[in-house]
Amino acid sequence: MKKTSTRLADGRELLYYDSHHTPRATTDHRPLGPPVATTSEIRQDPLLGDSVAIASHRQGRTYLPPADECPLCPSRDGRLSEIPADDYDVVVFENRFPSLAGPTGRCEVVCFTSDHDASFADLDEDRAALVLDVWRDRTAELAGLRQVEQVFCFENRGAEIGVTLGHPHGQIYAYPFVTPRTAQMLRSAAEHRERTGRNLFDDVVAREVAEGSRVVVDAAHWVAFVPHAARWPYEVHLHPRRRVPDLRGLDDAARAEFPGVYLELLKRFDRLFGEGQAPTPYVSAWHQAPVRAAGRAGFGLHLELFTIRRAIGKLKHLAGSESGMSVFINDVPPETAARRLREAASA
C-alpha cells in the first residue's frame, strides 16, 4: 500500500491509498475559500449522561446530487470534484461538513472506488483488503490525536438509511468521548468478568458457535452470526476468532481471510429479497475499543452489519418503543434470519 498526503483548495487533508506506487501530483484547482465554518458543539444529557453533537452547519451539505455532479467521483472532463485525480483506488479526506471538528474530534470520508455505480460488494478481494488496511491506518493515526477517545469506521448504504451521496463510500468519526453504546459494552464486560472471571466477548462467540442455529459464516479466522437478541430484522455480528481490541490488532491470517468473508456477507444481504429488488440498504459498523478507557484490553473488536428492510417493500421504522424507550421489537426471529442468510450463500 502506498499512502500519499495532499491538501484540498480549502486546506483540508486528502490521502490517496494505492495498491501500487502510483504518482500523485494533482492539485485541487477549485476556487474554494476557507473550510465551511463549523458550529459543532458537544452537549451532555444530564439525565442519561450521553454526549450529543450539535452541528447546525450540516444543514447545507450536499444532498443526493445527480451522478454527473457527484463530489466523490474523480475530476474528469473539465469537472472538478473533491478528488483532484482523474482516477483512484481508495481516497480519504476530511469531511467538508463534519459533525465533529477541531477540539470536538474529526470526521473523514472514505471512498472505496472511483466507480460511481459500484458498491462495496462489487469490489474484488484485493480492493477490499486495501480498504481494511486503510481502516487500520486511519484508526492508528486518529487514535494518536490528543482529543480523540474512540475511532468509529462505518458505512451507510441506501437512501432508506439516510445516505446523502450515492457514490460507494464510508465514514470515520473520531470522537472526543467514549460513545454510549461502547460504554455500555464495557460495563457489561466488567460485570461479567467480576461475576464469572471470564471474558464476555469470548463467551458470546463461544455460545453462538456451540448453539450453531444463528451462525451464518464459520471460517477459519472469523465467525459471523445473528445475535441471540438481534434488534434489526437482519443483523449479523462478525468477530475475529482471536479476540483483539481494535483493527490494529488483527494478525496476518485474519486480515487475509477478511475480504472473502465480508464480501460474501454483503452479497448475501443483497440476495435476501430476491432478484429484481433494489440493493439492500444497510449499516456496517466497526466496534473498536476506546483509545484509553479502562477495560480496553478485554474489549472484542467486531463488525455489526444490519438492514432496516424487513420484507419486500417494508422497512423497520423506529417507533415509540424503540425511539422513546430504546426497547427494540424485532419482527424476524434471529434463527429465521440466520437460516435465510445461510440459504443466500453463493452458488
What per-residue confidence (pLDDT) applies to 22? 84
Give the mean pLDDT per block of 10 residues along the chain (347 residues): 95 95 89 76 94 85 86 95 97 94 93 97 98 98 97 96 94 97 97 98 98 98 98 98 98 98 97 89 98 94 98 95 96 97 86
Residue 92 near residue 110, CB atoms below 8 Å: yes
Q: What pLDDT, on the 0 to 100 scale, is given for residue 210?
A: 98
- In contact, 283 and 155? CB cutoff 8 Å: yes
What is the number of alpha carbons within 13 Å of residue 344 lying toward its C-beta?
22
Query: Residue 55 in 3-state DSSP?
Result: coil
User: Are residues 236 and 280 in contact, defined by beta-carbon separation less than 8 angstroms?
Assistant: no
Residues serving a catalytic function are: 169
CA dist., res. 62 & res. 51, Å (int): 26
Q: What is the pLDDT of residue 321?
A: 97
Rounded to two decimals, the pTM is 0.95
Distance in angstroms (rounded) separating the CA atoms of residues 245 and 93: 25
Nearest residue to 241 (alpha-carbon basis) of 209, 288, 198: 209
Residue 332, class by beta-carbon neighbours within 10 Å (0-12 exposed, 13-18 middle, 19+ buried)? middle
Those residues whose C-beta lies under 8 Å from the C-beta of residue 6, and which sit 6 or more positions away, are 13, 14, 15, 16, 24, 26, 84
Q: CB of 338 within 8 A of CB of 345?
A: no
The pairs formed by 322-330 with CB atoms below 8 angstroms and a separation of 24 or more are: 328/231, 328/232, 330/230, 330/231, 330/232, 330/233
Go through the chain and tell me how many residues it has.
347
